[in-house]
Amino acid sequence: MKITDVKSYNLRYPLIEPFANARGWTKTRTAVVVEIRTDAGITGWGEGISVPSTSAIETYLIGHSPFETERIWEALRGNIGASSGVDIALWDIMGKALDMPIYQLLGGAFRLKIPAYASGLFKKEKQDITQALMDEAKGYVDAGFPAVKMKIGFGDAYDVKNVAAVRRAIGDNTLFAVDANCGYDVGTAIDVGQQLADYGLFWYEEPITTDDVAGYREIRHALKVRVAGGEMLQGRWAFRDLLQQRGVDIVQPDVSIAGGFTECRKIAAMASANYVRVLPHMWGSSIRLAATLHWQATLPDAPQALKPIPSLLEFDMTENGLRTELAKQPIHAVDGYVNVPQAPGLGIDINRDVLEKYA
Ligand code: CA
């Protein structure tokens, strides 16, 4: 089988209601989708964050076998944002060619139903943001989610008031993570973390920029909470120091940013060797969500235990047609769990009308 055609789509979905994290307002959701066709009539889909160059496509993809994932990854490694999408599409093709879901090709699933955390609770232009956050959080608990994640990083007054309110709304039995999106420096991150110590947080995500491994170590040693990060890192080299120096308790590679399945397996192996937990980041279209489900299914519990710390899927609760409309089979959370797709490859079919609508 040979690759015959590679096409990229820049998708754009304008939000009805903008929202903010610590770094700025989001008014549009985007996705870079890649479609790879073969002479066997099999088409694969991937999602990255940048478009592969014409010369890379002509030199390293057209005419080559879609099974040469390692070789193609190395050829494209100068643009990991693009190689991520290409790699996911190649695995989609391999799965379809072998009539197997990707999680089987990756070595088999440890779980086919993944417990999810509701990832939302952004800042919005609401008159009473605290009440709005409490209502939103309560809705997630009522829908059966075992965990929620809220955006912080807006200053200690906002963070403490609203974390306290959301904890009251969700009760003591729901796991609760917070995410500062790199909005703080080390001193502020520690100060805010200390003020949040009474609210039983499960993890404190991206308190500072992920480049600052020494800063992460200071925060980890100053606070009792687990520290998480790494969603924007690309390639195994970017993760190396963070893992070897134990900058985080939880590392969060994103399959569409860090390098696709081929690279994320290596990052997961490096995390395992350094006893750092992997909980993938997920913030994208149906393609990235399906890819994340397949990869996360194959991550073993670490440590293995009678009652392991759950491998929680990041389930984006915000409005995004690229996630809810692009696949013909929408991926839902039911009672706080999301099923791993069972059809060959990624296990989803792309709706071309939706693709054209948002392209
Ligand atoms: Ca995040």
Reported as a single tens digit per residue, the pLDDT across 283-308 is 999 999 999 999 999 999 988 899 99
Interval between CA 100 and ligand 1 midpoint (Å): 31
Q: Is-catalytic flag, 281?
A: yes
The kind and range of the H/E element at 356 are helix 352-358
Interval between CA 324 and ligand 1 midpoint (Å): 20
> Quick check: 164 pLDDT over 90?
yes
Whole-angstrom Cα distance, residue 166 to residue 169? 5
Handedness of CA 237, 243, 249, 255 (dihedral sign): positive
Reported as a single tens digit per residue, the pLDDT across 78-102 is 999 999 999 999 999 999 999 999 9
**pLDDT on residue 180:** 98
The type of residue at 61 is L
* Residues 6 or more apart in contact with residue 340 via CB below 8 angstroms: 101, 103, 109, 111, 112, 113, 114, 293, 294, 297, 347
Whole-angstrom Cα distance, residue 301 to residue 99? 27
Q: Domain 104-339 is classified in which CATH homologous superfamily?
A: Enolase-like C-terminal domain (3.20.20.120)
CA distances from 342 to 45, 102, 111, 348 (A): 16, 9, 12, 9
Q: Where in the chain is the domain with CATH 3.20.20.120?
A: 104-339
Give me the CATH code for the 3-99 domain, please: 3.30.390.10
Q: What is the mean pLDDT of residues 249-263?
A: 98
Token pair 């999810």 is found at 116
Whole-angstrom Cα distance, residue 28 to residue 39? 36
- Write down the catalytic residue from 64, 281, 294, 332: 281
Q: Where in the chain is the domain with CATH 3.30.390.10?
A: 3-99
Q: What is the mean pLDDT of residues 5-34?
A: 97
Share of the chain above pLDDT 70, in %: 100
Interval between CA 154 and ligand 1 midpoint (Å): 14
**pLDDT on residue 304:** 87
Reported as a single tens digit per residue, the pLDDT across 265-275 is 999 999 999 99
In this structure, the number of other CB atoms found within 10 A of the CB of residue 341 comes to 24
Reported as a single tens digit per residue, the pLDDT across 209-237 is 999 999 999 999 999 999 999 999 999 99
> Quick check: 259 pLDDT over 90?
yes
Interval between CA 58 and ligand 1 midpoint (Å): 35
Interval between CA 153 and ligand 1 midpoint (Å): 12
* Residues 6 or more apart in contact with residue 136 via CB below 8 angstroms: 120, 121
pTM over 0.85: yes
